[in-house]
Structures are given as structure tokens and as C-alpha cells.
Amino acid sequence: MTLSDRLCQEIEARRDDLIALTQDLIRIPTLNPPGENYREICDFLAQRLRGKGFAIELVRAFGTPGDSEKYPRWNVIARKEGAQPGDCVHFNSHIDVVDVGRGWTTDPFGGELKDGKIYGRGACDMKGGLAASIIAAEAFTDICPDFHGAVEISGTADEESGGFGGVAYLAEKGFFTPERVQHVIIPEPLNKDRICLGHRGVWWAEIETFGEIAHGSMPFLGDCAVRHMGAVMTEMEDSLFPALALKRTDMPVVPEGAKQSTLNINSIHGGQAENEADFTGLPSPCVPDSCRMVIDRRFLIEENIDDVQAEVMQVLKTVGDRRDQFRYDIRELHRVLPTMTEKDAPVVQVVAKAIAATMGKEADYVVSPGTYDQKHIDRIGKLKNCIAYGPGILDLAHKPDEYVGVDDMIDSAKVMGRSLIDLLVKPEASAA
């Protein structure tokens, strides 16, 4: 029996442990916002991995967005050294989950096991992936105690809100430098036979149009900011949206609709604020003097962020050329550049081989429509050898009755385990 077969058998034998671990993780509600129970889940992971011989570091991201005494931003990093020098393989999972929302038929924090699926908020995004990577790493270090290099597992905060109190903070502290870590796998739910190479870019901005307040019965005495914004939207419909639809990428983005540039209008607010639900009065007649729109532009690796901004500026200029008294302001809220790991990067090659060996089919390569923590590992950590690979169906993320399949977790744990053998066991050791 080959070493890989032995490891896969060992992972199968740990099925009950994998199920219980996933359920335990789901039962710690780590809702973000506000960032609940981060310390609790870090302590839980620390206790488990310390018991398996990992060295533990708990790192609080002091002063990052949302960090407070009530909601501290805790992260855990566990590292196990091999018997000989070599590369470090790091599995990074975020510990936070998004709001539950409506429509659940199971307890979102119950971790119910039904028909081979474990249900709960975060089951697929991404406590199932975290559990699979832990089982893979534990089985590997038990079977191959003489391995080269090191295995790391991190549980990090705030991915769902940008990762500033999580991977970005750790990257700034040197946890993801190419000297310390050589291969990173992020077990996000991208389906067990797909390797995610990276993501599109993001540009968020707020546009504000200005007017002049006046009595609503004499709007000609004022200047309506909402009408100015209406003109901006019309120009977007006429020129910007059609232009974006024509921009196609060579990145293997899924789903198909995200292979082009996209723009979402996140929100529009103009005039008086909406009343509280229990307010029974009428509004007062005023011409709105301000209207604000938040846009969410997702761009392609072939695009330049300066051009992305210039297109929106052109819309505003065109409107300004046509309308008297058109005054506006535009503020950038957030930006992330696109990132994509090369297909010949070592971690991509090794995981692709492991997928073929485990699933009996070639791996698919994909790029995510939205961003995830790879951006920080790339930009701050300067580490290019990074992918997302993990169990779970991407479309279930953030939905009611989110679940992860136990067989999918087992299969992806095998892929992770085989990858560890390929990267950390040298031929002379594996022959034994």
C-alpha cells in the first residue's frame, strides 16, 4: 500500500471525528458583524491542536476595524514542525460567519447531521473546510512524523468584512512572508474538484449630487439633487453598463455572468431620511439638496483601476456638460486589485494532481467573482503561491439551510493530505 493510500484510509477512519469537529465549530456562533465568540473558537482550536503537538499563537488584532473590549479580533495560528527542514504548508480558514437571515428549517447553530449533510450557518463557508484541513493535517502528521518542513493551520477573523482584523493583520505582522510560509491553501467552499486561482478586483465609491433646499410646492426655487442623480443613472444605463458588458476576461471566472466587468448600485439615498416604522406623521415638502449613491464595481485582471475610475468620472462629466448647476462629489470607499496565481505555481500543480488521484477527474480552474483573503496574502504578504481549495458548494454560502456534505469533506481532506505528502515528504522517506 502506498503512503497516499494509507493516509486516505486514515482520513476515512476519522469520519466521526470530522463530523463532530464540524458540528462543534458550527455550535460556536461567530457572527460578523459584530464579531462574536472569536476568542471562544480560537481557544477551542488551540486546545485541540495543542493536544496534537502543534505550537499555538493567539494574536489579537488590536485597533483594527471593529476591535473592542466587547468584540476583540482574535486569531489563532497553529504550527507543527517536521523532523527535517523544508517548506511550510499553511491552511488558512476564516472563523467568522455572516448573519443568519430568514428561511431556515434547521437550527442555524445546531450542526444537525441529516442524510450525510451537516447543516448550519458557516457549514460550507467555511467551518467544513476548516475541519477538513485539520483532519488532513492531523492524519498526515500522525502517519508521516518524519516529514520535512512545517504544517500550519490558522483560524482568522473578519474575512466577511474585509479581513483587516484577520489575515491582513497577520500578514502585516509577518505571518505570511515567503520566508516563513511557502504554500497557502484557503479551504473556501469552491467545490471539491475545483482550484480557485484568485479573484476579480473591487472598487467601491460614493457619489453625491448636490441641490438646493426649497418648498416642495415651488421646486423651481430650489434645485433637486435626486433629479441630478437620476441623470447620472440614465447616463450609466446609456453608456456605462453597455460598455462594461463588452469587457470579457480570460480569467476562468465562475459563474459565467461574472466573466465580464460588473457594476452594482448598492444604495441610493436622497432627501429626507425614511421615517421609523412606528412614525404615523406625514413628510414635509422639501426639495432634496443631497443625494448619495454607493456603487460596487468589480473589474477584471485585464483592466486598470485608473481606467475603472476614469469611466465613472466620464459619466459625471457627460452629465455635467448637459445640466446646469450640476454639482457632485465622489469618494472612494474601498479598493482591491485583482489577483490570480499562475497555473504552474507549485501549490496549484500539487493540488491538481491530488484532485485527479482522489476524484479520478482533472481539476477545474476557477476565479472567484468576489474577493477573499488571498488579496492580503498576495499584496501584504508578497506570497504568490496561494489558492483557495475546499469542500462545499459555493452557491450555498450565506444562504438559509447552508450545509456541507460529509463525503465532500472527506474527499477534500484526502486532496489536502495527498498534497502534504507531495510537498513535505521526500522520496526516500515515502519509500519506507
Footprint on this chain of Zn ion (rule: CB under 5 A)? 125-126, 188
Indicate the residue whose CB is closest to Zn ion: 125
In the complex, least distance from residue 60 CB atom to Zn ion, rounded to whole angstroms = 21
Whether a cis peptide bond, with omega within 30° of 0, leads into 108 is no
Q: What strand order describes the sheet that includes 117-119? A: 113-114, 117-119, 403-405
Q: Distance between CA 136 and CA 8 in Å, rounded?
A: 9
Angle, in degrees to the nearest 10, between helices 128-143 and 406-424: 40
Instruction: State the nearest-atom distance from the C-beta of 6 to Zn ion, in Å.
Output: 32
Q: How far, in whole angstroms, is CA 78 from its chain's centroid?
A: 21
The strand pairing partners of 41, in sequence order, are: none
**Cβ distance to Zn ion smaller for residue 182 or 368:** 368
Nearer to Zn ion, 126 or 132 (CB): 126
Q: Which is nearer to Zn ion, 126 or 404 (CB)?
A: 126
Residue closer to Zn ion by CB (options 66, 271) is 66
Q: In this structure, how many other beta carbons lie within 10 angstroms of the beta carbon of residue 252?
A: 17
Angle at 357 between CA 144 and CA 14, to 5 degrees: 50
66 versus 149: smaller Cβ distance to Zn ion: 66
Q: Enumerate the β-bridge partners of residue 185.
A: 91, 387
196/315 with CB nearer Zn ion? 196
**Pairs from 309-313 (Cβ < 8 Å, separation ≥ 24):** 309/203, 309/205, 311/240, 311/243, 312/205, 312/207, 312/240
For Zn ion, the closer CB: 160 or 208: 160
Question: What span, in angstroms and rounded, lies between the C-alpha atoms of 69 and 201?
Answer: 33
CB of 188 to Zn ion, least distance (A): 5
Closest CA to 91 of 120, 49, 53: 49
Closer to Zn ion by Cβ: residue 126 or 421: 126
Distance of closest approach, residue 94 Cβ to Zn ion, in angstroms: 6
Pick the closest to residue 298 from 357, 245, 225, 361 (CA basis).
245
Q: Cell match 467545490: residue?
A: 191
What's the closest the beta carbon of residue 84 comes to Zn ion, in angstroms?
34
Burial of 256 (0-12, 13-18, 19+ CB in 10 A): exposed
At closest approach, how far in Å is the CB of 32 from Zn ion? 11
User: CB count, 10 Å around CB of 212?
Assistant: 14
Whose Cβ is closer to Zn ion: residue 126's or residue 293's?
A: 126
Q: Which residues of 95-128 form beta strands (DSSP E)?
A: 113-114, 117-119
Closer Cβ to Zn ion, 125 or 422, answer by number: 125
283: Cβ contacts below 8 Å, ≥ 6 apart: 272, 275
Residue 176: CB minimum distance to Zn ion, A: 18
Report, in Å, the least distance between residue 397 CB and Zn ion.
Answer: 6
To the nearest whole angstrom, how small is the minimum distance from the Cβ of residue 156 to Zn ion? 11
CB of 213 to Zn ion, least distance (A): 44
